[in-house]
A and B are shown apart, each in its own frame.
Chain A
Amino acid sequence: MSQQQEQSIKQNQPLADASHIETDEQRRRFMEKFGKLAAITPIALTTMMSPANSAPPRSGCNRNGKGCR
C-alpha cells in the first residue's frame, strides 16, 4: 500500500486515482474486453449494497430475510 493511500485513509479522503473513460477508443477497448467475456459468463446485475438491503445482520437469515421467521 502506498503512502498516498494510507494518507487518504487517515484523512478520510478518497483516493486520487479518478480516471475517465475519455476516448471512443478506450471505451471500445473496454467493450471488447468485457464483450469477449460476456459470452462465457452468466448474465447478471445484482445489488451489492443499497439502503433496501442494509439491515442488522441476523444469524440464520441472509440479507433478504430468507431463513427468518
Chain B
Amino acid sequence: MMTVTKFSLNTDYLTLFVENDSALVFHHIKQSLFHLSPLSVSLLLALDQGVSEQQAIQQVLKASDCRQVDIESHLASVSDLFNKQPQEKHYLAEQYPEISRPVPEIDSCSSKCYCVNDSYFVIEADSVAFTDEVSRLLAPCRKHNKLIDFYVEIRQHSDHRFSFSCNGYCIEQSLPYEQLMPELIERMQVLAYQKSDYLFCFHGAALKNSNQCLLLPGVSGAGKSTLAAQLAQRGFALYSDEMMVLDPDFNLISLALPIAVKSGSWPVLTAEYPSLAKQSAWRKQDGRVVKYLWPQQFVVSPTPSCQMRLINPEFTAAEQGSECNEGFQEQPLTVIEALAVLTQSGYQVHQKLDINLVERLFVFLSRMTRSRMQYACSNSVLEKLSS
C-alpha cells in the first residue's frame, strides 16, 4: 500500500511528499530531494503562499509552539528551497573516467580475462605474487572474450609501492601491496555496474532465495557482509555484498565478486567457511583488514521480480554476561525512513532525477517489507529470516 502522498505547491518547481508525520520536498530544477522537519514544512507552506518572510514567521508562530528565535534561525535554509539555480554538478559526473576511454590493444587475454556482469577485464600485474593471488581469488569469474572493456595495469615502481591504472587512466600512483586487492575488487564492482544500464546503485548487500529478495542497506560496520556470507550458507544466492544495483525495471543486477569479510567477523565465519583461514589478508584504504570468500551461489541476472524485503542491520556487540538474543529488536521503517537509510549509506543515480523517477522509487519501496534489525549476534536475525 502506498503510504506517501504527493502534493503540488504554488511554487511549480517544488513538490511535497508526506508520509504520516514525515515529509520530503522534491526540487525539480535542482533534481534534489530534501528531508524536512515539521518546522521546515510549516515554513515551506507559509512561504509557498508568496507572503513575506516576516508574515511567514508570524503564521508559523501562530500555528506552532516554537520560539520566534528558532523559526528565524531556520528561515534561511527553507528560503533556499525557493532558489531556482540548478546544481552545477550532474548525476553523470561520477561515472569513472575509464568507462569512456578507449581500451588499449592487447595481444591475448585468455589467462588474465575476468567477467563481471557482462564487463570483461584484463588484469596485468608485473608482480608475480599479486598475479598469482588474482588468478587464485578471481578464478570463478575467469572467462575469455575477444572484446574487453577494461585493461587494468598494476605496476611496481619502488619497493612495495604500485601504480594502478585502467584503460590508460591512472587511478593510484603509490599503493602499498596489501591494498592492491581491495582496490582492484572495489574498482571492478563499480566499473561493472557503471558499464551496465543501471538506474540506481545503493550501498549494501542483496540476496535472493525461493521466497524473497533481501536488501541489506547500511553504513560500513553494520554487519551487512557478515550477514550476507551467513545467508549465502542458508539457501540464499547473492547479487552482491556491496552494491544493490537496480536496472530500469527496478530488477536487481548481480555482481559476481568475492565477499570482503572484515577481521572482526573471521571467528564467526570460519566454521562455515573453513577456507577463510587459508586466505590472504588485505588492507582497505580505511585501514580495516579483510579476507575474501566466495558464496556458494550468485543470482544469474536478470531475474524475474520477487517479493522484496528491506532490512537495515545494526550490529552492536553484546554486553559481557548478557545473552546473545537479548539485544534483538525489529522495528518497521516507513518509506521515507527506508529511503533515508538507503541514501545515507551511499548511492549513485545514473540519469536525470525527475518527479517520475522519484515516484517510482517510492512505489518500489512501498511494495516491500521494511524494517531495522538491531542485534548482538546474527543467529537471531538468521532465525527470523529463515522462519
Q: Are B201 and A57 in contact (CB under 8 A)?
A: yes
Q: Are B32 and A49 in contact (CB under 8 A)?
A: yes
Q: Which of B40, B41, B284 contacts A30 (CB 8 A)?
A: B41
- Distance to closest chain A CB from B181 (angstroms): 13
CA of A26 to CA of B30, assembled, Å: 27
- Distance to closest chain A CB from B27 (angstroms): 9
Q: Name B residues whose Cβ lies closer than 8 Å to a Cβ of A.
A: 1-2, 5-10, 16, 21, 23-24, 30-42, 45-46, 48-49, 59-60, 63-66, 70, 74, 77-78, 81, 87, 89-91, 93-94, 96, 186, 190, 194, 201-203, 219-220, 242-243, 248, 250, 260, 284-286, 288, 339-340, 343-349, 353, 355-356, 359-360, 363-364, 366-367
CB closest residue in chain A, given B87: A51
Contact A55:B37 (CB < 8 A) given known A17-B5, A49-B353? no
Q: Are B339 and A48 in contact (CB under 8 A)?
A: yes
Q: Name A residues whose Cβ lies closer than 8 Å to a Cβ of B.
A: 1-2, 5, 8-9, 12-15, 17-21, 27-28, 30-39, 41-63, 67-69
- Distance to closest chain B CB from A5 (angstroms): 6
Q: Are A63 and B6 in contact (CB under 8 A)?
A: no
Contact A58:B346 (CB < 8 A) given known A34-B42, A48-B340? yes
List the A side residues contacting B24 at CB < 8 Å: 48
Contact A48:B33 (CB < 8 A) given known A41-B38, A59-B186, A69-B286? yes
CA of A52 to CA of B33, assembled, Å: 11
List the B side residues contacting A31 at CB < 8 Å: 42, 45-46, 59-60, 63
CA of A61 to CA of B346, assembled, Å: 8
CA of A67 to CA of B287, assembled, Å: 10
- Distance to closest chain A CB from B314 (angstroms): 15
Contact A32:B343 (CB < 8 A) given known A49-B353, A60-B284, A60-B285? no
List the A side residues contacting B250 at CB < 8 Å: 9
Q: Are A35 and B78 in contact (CB under 8 A)?
A: no
5 A-B pairs with least C-beta separation: A35-B64, A57-B346, A60-B286, A57-B203, A35-B63
Q: Which of B1, B10, B78, B360 contacts A9 (CB 8 A)?
A: B360
Q: Are A36 and B65 in contact (CB under 8 A)?
A: yes
